[in-house]
Amino acid sequence: MVERNPRSTKLSKSYLFREVADRVQSYKRKNPGAVLYNLGIGDTTIPLPQVVTQSLSGFFESLSTEEGYLGYQNEQGNELLRKSIIERFYPDTITPDEVFVSDGAKCDIGRLQILLSHLSPVLIQDPTYPVYRDGTLLSGDQSLIYAVCNPENDFFPNFSGSPKLLYICSPNNPTGTVLTYTQLTHLVSYAKEHGALIIFDAAYRYFIQGEQHPRTIYEIPGAKEIAIEVNSFSKFAGFTGIRLGWSIVPKTLKGLYDDYARLHSTIFNGASILAQKCGEVVLQEGFEACMASVEEYRANTKAMRDALLSEGETVYGGEHAPYVWIETKGKSSWEAFQYYLEEKQLIVTPGSGFGKGGEGFVRLSGFFHPSTRSAILDRLACSSYTSTLYS
Amino acid sequence: MVERNPRSTKLSKSYLFREVADRVQSYKRKNPGAVLYNLGIGDTTIPLPQVVTQSLSGFFESLSTEEGYLGYQNEQGNELLRKSIIERFYPDTITPDEVFVSDGAKCDIGRLQILLSHLSPVLIQDPTYPVYRDGTLLSGDQSLIYAVCNPENDFFPNFSGSPKLLYICSPNNPTGTVLTYTQLTHLVSYAKEHGALIIFDAAYRYFIQGEQHPRTIYEIPGAKEIAIEVNSFSKFAGFTGIRLGWSIVPKTLKGLYDDYARLHSTIFNGASILAQKCGEVVLQEGFEACMASVEEYRANTKAMRDALLSEGETVYGGEHAPYVWIETKGKSSWEAFQYYLEEKQLIVTPGSGFGKGGEGFVRLSGFFHPSTRSAILDRLACSSYTSTLYS
């Protein structure tokens, strides 16, 4: 029999969202009439703007013509799309050949973890989006530093243990908090002084309001020498099923830039041309419509946050991110998950699923459909609401 | 400065197809009027069947409706597609939950290499499709056995060195040869006796004619205990830009099955729903039209092979695969590449780009557009043809 890879055994048994799905299925079997609202997984719910879908029919049909058919394309992504990404998000700081278009931020992180398997120790914010931890465990033998981020340290990790690679997500999944210019400058300084590299995940940048928080790490001087940034169309354009993202690997990273270009074309063939075309339209004529959807999710999140605060809950995040992070006050995260499931018929995500540092919290996502907003608020705001009303 | 990963330094400087592209660009700059035909990269050229693109437009428009919008889907691929793959290609041998839908065989191999980084030594057929070698070098520290496959050994590797992981591609890229039942049975027996694992790449199965050669490794009894198979829509459905493939990881591999399911959902979010929809249509109403395109590529390849044989060339492959493998008779592979480029204005692939075992050969691909067939045959068949005719 073929042996397992010892690295695989380092992962905990079940992936967070699978465990949540299993518990929800179990509840549904016992309560077939239950109407559940999902505040769990951060999945988009608002349909794609018509301007996007309409402009693409012609493109699809052209693929069955001699003139329009397209085979293999540049693995790095088509140039118009890369230029549009620069114009929208990195004017004057990044060039198109520093953009690597992909099938999503999570997939890019998986590839970057192959590139960076030599950097140790690795700082993981705790709680963390699982792929930073699990992907690192699968692809290398580095030691991990779990840097707790909680209300006591203003959700900012400390750097004890001298990490050489740092995964930083801001606006943060799962806590919904966001780094300030001062905090991010501190991070960049640490990396520069210690020859460390930062993977900066900016997939939620579109939820930042005002001018008090950086939307990309490259707003911080010197960041191009020590940071790779990953991003995604998933959350701002509703592409969670369509699959499109990108990474910025600055040429100032020198050898790493060439090595990533090589790795990317070795084990990846580029994002689907269908997804890339959708992305082009989104960044041109579809952008305002996408931002209108972001506004709806923002309104969802604000309403949840306000309702929870008025109920006396202790709440973090939710102002510059689509996630609200709630203290569970004496309950464990999974106990609170069951409480929300059984008493309010709401699916939330247990904070402990994101690491030990998330124990004692649950995450609520603002990505539900706006048409369900008032029903969700009723359940959140009414302390006396229990599922018996619906059973 | 952040250090490079030592693994990255083990790769040769340039990826084969980039080097070819650079040389072609250089030739074009010097000969702006040249009309080149590309027999190099194995890229499809026949447009998608209309039945595929037409059904996609309706699906895509539904994504901008409340009823039709789709977000995250099962990372493993939608069930209808997995069932269709089973019905078409693995009736009675594999179950849908052993199918992992992906964005292509090359990308799957990259993920499998993370799963299998503990298996050493690794047998690489020499010549080889580059990702088997380069992806292994990037993701692990295994030792590699380059097993030469050439006319002397009937293109069948020997197993000296006791490999624990074997990459086997049949029909073979680049040599265009195909394994017999006897050969593949021998491979499976070796793996079973030595606790080794086979990665079997069947991306070209659609080019096999008759019943003398296995189309999947699972035709060999016992293979489900020692083999993972990768496959792709790229070559039979023209999806090189659309990106869709799958891997079969049998449950009889036990721990490896669970570990791959975990890995796959950790660093991958599933193939684009647009590509998956295209794949469903291809396997249903689009299948015959796709097979008609395969017939065209087959006719291209047969015509090339016949022309070369009639010119006295020594030719291998090309009967059950879209590639012809030609001995260069005293010239090096890159010299022969330059000869075809400059004298016949044909782009071929130097065999040495696929490994030392490919030195002394070039690969010709039958994926050119059928409308160019007669012009290509003129150049191949006419010994006296030189580019001066066209310059």
Residues of B in contact with A255 (CB under 8 A): 3-4, 8
CB spacing of A240 vs B138 below 8 angstroms: no
Instruction: Say whether both B107 and B256 belong to one domain.
Output: yes
CB spacing of B273 vs A71 below 8 angstroms: no
Residue type, A203: A
The number of distinct structural domains making up chain A is 2
- Show the DSSP H helices in chain B as ranges: 16-30, 50-62, 79-89, 105-115, 130-139, 181-194, 234-237, 255-267, 273-283, 287-310, 333-343, 373-381
Write the secondary structure of B232-294 as one string of H (helix), E (strand) and C (coil).
ECHHHHCCCCCCCEEEECCHHHCHHHHHHHHHHHHHCCCCCHHHHHHHHHHHCCCHHHHHHHH
Answer whether residue A1 is part of any domain.
no
Q: What pLDDT is stored for residue B388 in this prediction?
A: 43
Cα–Cα dist A385/A372, whole Å: 16
CB spacing of A111 vs B110 below 8 angstroms: yes
Instruction: Say whether both A110 and A251 belong to one domain.
Output: yes
Q: Is B279 on the interface with A (CB under 8 A)?
A: no
Q: What pLDDT is stored for residue A58 in this prediction?
A: 87
What does the pLDDT average to over B186-215?
97
Question: Residues A325, A305: contact at Cβ < 8 Å?
Answer: no
Peptide bond into A32 cis (omega under 30): no
Instruction: Say whether both A63 and A175 belong to one domain.
Output: yes
pLDDT band at A385 (very low <50, low <70, confident <90, very high): low
Q: What pLDDT is stored for residue B385 in this prediction?
A: 55
Q: What pLDDT is stored for residue A388 in this prediction?
A: 43
- Concatenate the DSSP letters of all residues of A143-156 into one string: -EEEEE--GGGTT-
- The CATH number linked to B376 is 3.90.1150.10
Q: Report CA B232 to chain centroid distance, whole Å.
A: 8
CA atoms within 13 A on the CB side of B147: 22
More confident residue, A51 or B55: A51
Average pLDDT of every residue of chain B: 94
* Whether residue A371 has pLDDT greater than 50: yes
- Concatenate the DSSP letters of all residues of B353-383 into one string: GG-GGGTTEEEEES-S-GGGHHHHHHHHH-T
Q: Is B383 on the interface with A (CB under 8 A)?
A: no
Q: Which of A269, A276, A365 best probes binding to B when mutated, by most B CB atoms within 10 angstroms?
A: A269
Answer whether residue A154 is part of any domain.
yes
Q: Is A101 on the interface with B (CB under 8 A)?
A: no
What does the pLDDT average to over B247-262?
96
Q: What pLDDT is stored for residue B391 in this prediction?
A: 36
- For A236, other C-beta atoms within 10 Å of its C-beta total 21
Instruction: Say whether both B263 and B307 belong to one domain.
Output: no
**For A191-207, how does the pLDDT look when each residue is reduced to its tens digit (9 = 90+)?**
999 999 999 999 999 99
Answer whether residue A215 is part of any domain.
yes
Instruction: Say whether both B215 and B158 belong to one domain.
Output: yes
Q: For the whole model, what pTM was predicted? A: 0.95
3-state secondary structure of A119: coil
Q: What pLDDT is stored for residue B390 in this prediction?
A: 41
Q: Report CA A384 to chain centroid distance, whole Å.
A: 33
> What Rg do the C-alpha atoms of chain B give, in angstroms?
21
A344-360 burial by CB neighbour count: b if 16+ within 10 A, else e? Answer: bbbbbbbbbbbbebbbb
Question: Residues A97, A251: contact at Cβ < 8 Å?
Answer: yes
3-state secondary structure of A315: strand
Domain boundary, last residue among A253, A283, A313: A283
Question: How far apart are the CA of A204 and the nearest CA of chain B, in angstroms?
Answer: 17
- Token pair, residue A203, equals 């997939």
Closest CB to A60: pick one of B56, B63, B131: B56
Answer whether residue B367 is part of any domain.
yes
- The CATH number linked to B129 is 3.40.640.10
Cα–Cα dist A175/A177, whole Å: 5
Instruction: Say whether both A275 and A127 belong to one domain.
Output: yes
Domain boundary, last residue among A250, A283, A316: A283
Cα–Cα dist B188/A220, whole Å: 56
More confident residue, B317 or A383: B317
Please give the interface size between A and B, counted as residue pairs whose CB atoms are below 8 Å apart: 250
Answer whether residue A21 is part of any domain.
yes
**For A20-74, how does the pLDDT look when each residue is reduced to its tens digit (9 = 90+)?**
889 999 999 999 999 999 998 889 999 999 999 988 878 989 999 999 999 999 9
**For A92-124, how does the pLDDT look when each residue is reduced to its tens digit (9 = 90+)?**
899 999 999 999 999 999 999 999 999 999 999
- Token pair, residue A331, equals 């309950």
CB spacing of B256 vs A50 below 8 angstroms: no
What does the pLDDT average to over B111-123?
98
Nearest CA-CA partner of B344 in B371, B298, B384, B315? B384
Instruction: Say whether both A211 and A299 belong to one domain.
Output: no
Question: How far apart are the CA of B389 and the nearest CA of chain A, in angstroms?
Answer: 27
Answer whether residue B159 is part of any domain.
yes
CB spacing of A61 vs B41 below 8 angstroms: no
Instruction: Say whether both A189 and A95 belong to one domain.
Output: yes
- For B251, other C-beta atoms within 10 Å of its C-beta total 14
Instruction: Say whether both B171 and B297 belong to one domain.
Output: no
**For B266-281, how does the pLDDT look when each residue is reduced to its tens digit (9 = 90+)?**
999 999 999 999 999 9
Residues of A in contact with B63 (CB under 8 A): 47-48, 53, 241-242
Question: Residues B249, B76: contact at Cβ < 8 Å?
Answer: no
Instruction: Say whether both A385 and A272 belong to one domain.
Output: no
Instruction: Say whether both B29 and B59 belong to one domain.
Output: no
Domain boundary, last residue among A262, A283, A304: A283
Answer whether residue A382 is part of any domain.
yes
CB spacing of B106 vs A267 below 8 angstroms: yes
- For A154, other C-beta atoms within 10 Å of its C-beta total 12
What does the pLDDT average to over B187-208?
98
Residues of chain B with pLDDT > 90, as a percent, come to 91
Quote the domain boundaries for residue A59: 50-283
Instruction: Say whether both A131 and A205 belong to one domain.
Output: yes
Which residue does chain A place closest to B70, by CA atoms? Answer: A241
Which sign does the torsion angle of CA A151, A155, A156, A161 carry? positive
Answer whether residue B1 is part of any domain.
no
Cα–Cα dist B362/B334, whole Å: 8
Which residue does chain A place closest to B265, by CA atoms? Answer: A15
- Concatenate the DSSP letters of all residues of A340-356 into one string: HHHHS-EE-EEGGGG-G
pLDDT band at B205 (very low <50, low <70, confident <90, very high): very high
